């Protein structure tokens, strides 16, 4: 049980990451009403796609209902079919991996490294030694931090494997001057309500491949063939984005850089606030990468971890002097009406993927980060005063 320290609870809850609206969104939504483009066709969709292409520097963008739908099309159009083995990031949100299964493919889960928390190139090499026939890699840029893209691309090129990039959390991030969302042969971003910018929901498929973009448009609108009646030769979906949602996204696009700057300030403030504690933040390659700082995470040093026992649905922990654990910190945050969250639970630990192969280079980085890490409140509407209170309550846990 967390013993309260004297930090006053916030009157209004501070969220992990909630939507931040600016007003311009309404203008574009109203325009859709006024012109009666209340459909999955319209100017907002075209403009939102143009803006995404500009920001990311790719040739094609296809606006879809969700990031998950975009990943499904990306995986299908990359050629994943029944029985296809696919290397997937293990430490991620489940939507990275599920689309492989929608296609009947078999995810083989690849561990993370400690430098960026993303797919470990060493584990990927081992995976190719074990499964040289694999031709698809689905990788994520977790919490907005670019993966070791250059090394992974080299390995994939050597084995003739395609990259499907899940940039759902990393829109606006850069690595060696390349934008997240253009690392993959096909890439995906999300506009879910908690992402760096939002349309309430929504996603996009991004690529330089004209055929893939054209096919994504076709498949997302029930795969109509070119005929005056309803003619279909391929299995399609109803995955196209609404013009209303695209209006919200169009308004939000202008604020992407502002949101990133605010998220970065939050990261820096936590870093300064925790400098004397036995913890570290989610790291990135400071020379080559510019994350979008979507979520700041912290990891408790091994020697400062109190005993924490998690089973499939509950957790217990001990109160130990000078030590703490993520569960205690999460309780402490809750006690002041602030929202935190454990790090994503690795996919190989999920009952759903129990029988899938999991490959790591040494130990399990993902399990260790899940055990010792948590996501901190990162809402950009949080005031510096509120963040100071959060820092204070985290310090209390080490008391």
Q: Are 282 and 117 a contacting pair, CB within 8 Å? A: yes
**Which residue from 168, 253, 298, 396 is in contact with ligand PLP, where contact means CB under 6 A?**
168
User: To the nearest whole angstrom, how small is the minimum distance from the Cβ of residue 204 to ligand PLP?
Assistant: 10
DSSP 8-state symbol, 194:
T
Kindly tell me which of 96 and 182 has the beta carbon lying closer to ligand PLP. Answer: 96
Q: What is the CA radius of gyration of the chain?
A: 22
Cβ proximity to ligand PLP, 5 vs 94, nearer residue: 94
Q: How far is the CB of 91 from ligand PLP (least distance, A)?
A: 10
- Give the chain's length: 399
- The secondary structure element, H or E, covering residue 373 is strand 373-375
Give just the sign of the alpha carbon dihedral 47, 49, 54, 59: negative
Nearer to ligand PLP, 68 or 306 (CB): 68
* Contact assessment for residue 341 and residue 375, using Cβ atoms and an 8 Å cutoff: yes
Closest to ligand PLP by CB, 100 vs 168, is: 168
- Based on CB atoms, which residue is closest to ligand PLP, 181 or 274? 181
User: Which token pair is 281?
Assistant: 């933040």
Among 90, 113, 166, 328, binds ligand PLP (CB under 6 A): 166
Contact positions with ligand PLP (CB under 6 A) in 138-157? 140
Number of residues that bind ligand PLP (CB under 6 A): 14
Q: Which is nearer to ligand PLP, 203 or 377 (CB)?
A: 203
Shortest spacing between CB 70 and ligand PLP, in angstroms: 8
Site mask for ligand PLP (CB under 6 A), range 176-205, x = bound = --------------x-x----------x--
Name the segment binding ligand PLP (CB under 6 A); options: 39-47, 89-97, 171-179, 297-305: 89-97
Smallest distance, Å, CB 195 to ligand PLP?
6
Interface with ligand PLP, residue 356, by CB under 6 A:
no
169 forms part of the interface with ligand PLP (CB under 6 A): yes
Nearest distance in Å: CB 7, ligand PLP: 30
In angstroms, give the least distance from the CB of 253 to ligand PLP. Answer: 16
Q: Does residue 96 belong to the site contacting ligand PLP (CB under 6 A)? A: yes
Handedness of CA 94, 209, 257, 70 (dihedral sign): negative
Site for ligand PLP in 43-82 (CB under 6 A): 66-68
The bridge status of strand 174-175 relative to strand 186-190 is unpaired
Instruction: Give the integer Cα–Cα distance in Å for 369 and 376.
Output: 14
Which residues lie below 8 Å from residue 298, measured CB to CB, with a gap of 6+?
270, 274, 279, 280, 281, 282, 329, 373, 374, 376, 394
Q: 249 vs 396, which CB is nearer to ligand PLP?
A: 249
Pick from 146, 99, 83: nearest CA to 291: 146
In angstroms, the CA 14 to CA 75 distance is: 36
Query: Minimum Å distance from CB 358 to ligand PLP?
Result: 18
In 3D, which of 104, 216, 195 has the Cα closest to residue 141?
Answer: 195
**Distance separating the N- and C-terminal Cα atoms of the chain:** 14
Task: Return the SS3 of 289.
Answer: strand
User: Residue of minimal CB distance from ligand PLP?
Assistant: 67
Smallest distance from ligand PLP to CB 323, Å: 31
For the CB of residue 152, give the shortest distance to ligand PLP in the complex, in Å: 16
DSSP, collapsed to helix, strand or coil, labels residue 178 as: strand
- Closest separation in Å from C-beta 194 to ligand PLP: 7
| Residue 123 CA: distances (Å) to CA of 108, 126, 316 | 11, 5, 32
- Judged by beta carbon, residue 192 or residue 306, the one nearer ligand PLP is 192
* 93 is an interface residue for ligand PLP by CB under 6 A: yes
Do residues 119 and 146 lie in contact, with contact meaning Cβ atoms separated by under 8 Å?
A: no
Are 293 and 257 a contacting pair, CB within 8 Å? Answer: no
Q: Does 95 contact ligand PLP by CB under 6 A?
A: yes
Cβ atoms within 10 Å, residue 328: 26
Q: Which residues contact ligand PLP by CB under 6 A?
A: 66-68, 92-93, 95-96, 140, 166, 168-169, 190, 192, 203
């Amino acid at each position: 049980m967390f013993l309260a320290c004297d930090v006053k609870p916030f009157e209004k809850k501070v969220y992990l990451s909630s939507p931040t609206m600016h007003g311009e969104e309404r203008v574009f939504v109203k325009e859709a009403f006024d012109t009666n483009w209340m459909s999955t066709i319209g100017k907002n969709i075209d403009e939102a796609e143009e803006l995404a292409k500009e920001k990311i520097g790719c040739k094609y963008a296809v606006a879809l209902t969700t990031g998950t739908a975009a990943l499904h099309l990306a995986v299908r159009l990359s050629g994943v079919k029944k029985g296809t083995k696919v290397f997937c990031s293990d430490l991620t949100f489940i939507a990275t991996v599920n689309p492989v299964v929608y296609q009947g493919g078999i995810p083989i889960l690849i561990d993370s490294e400690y430098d960026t928390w993303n797919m470990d190139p060493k584990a990927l090499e081992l995976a190719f030694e074990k499964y040289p026939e694999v031709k698809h890699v689905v990788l994520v840029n977790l919490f907005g931090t670019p993966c070791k893209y250059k090394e992974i691309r080299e390995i994939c090129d050597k084995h003739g494997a395609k990259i499907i990039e899940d940039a759902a959390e990393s829109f606006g991030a850069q690595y060696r001057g390349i934008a997240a969302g253009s690392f993959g042969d096909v890439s995906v971003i999300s506009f879910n309500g908690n992402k760096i910018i939002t349309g309430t929901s929504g996603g996009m498929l991004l690529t330089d491949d004209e055929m893939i973009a054209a096919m994504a448009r076709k498949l997302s609108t029930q795969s109509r063939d070119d005929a005056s009646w309803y003619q279909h030769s391929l299995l399609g979906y109803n995955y196209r984005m609404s013009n209303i949602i695209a209006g919200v996204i169009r308004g939000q696009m202008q604020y992407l850089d502002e949101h990133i700057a605010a998220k970065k300030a939050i990261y820096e403030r936590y870093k300064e606030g925790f400098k004397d504690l036995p913890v570290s933040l989610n790291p990135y390659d400071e020379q080559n990468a510019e994350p979008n700082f979507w979520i700041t995470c912290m990891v408790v040093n091994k020697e400062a971890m109190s005993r924490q026992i998690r089973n499939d649905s509950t957790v217990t922990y001990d109160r130990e002097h000078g030590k703490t654990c993520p569960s205690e910190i999460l309780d402490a945050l809750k006690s002041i009406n602030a929202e935190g969250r454990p790090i994503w639970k690795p996919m190989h630990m999920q009952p759903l993927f129990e029988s899938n192969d999991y490959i790591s280079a040494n130990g399990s980085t993902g399990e260790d980060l899940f055990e010792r890490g948590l996501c901190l409140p990162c809402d950009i509407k949080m005031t510096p005063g509120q963040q100071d209170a959060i820092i204070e309550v985290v310090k209390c846990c080490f008391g």
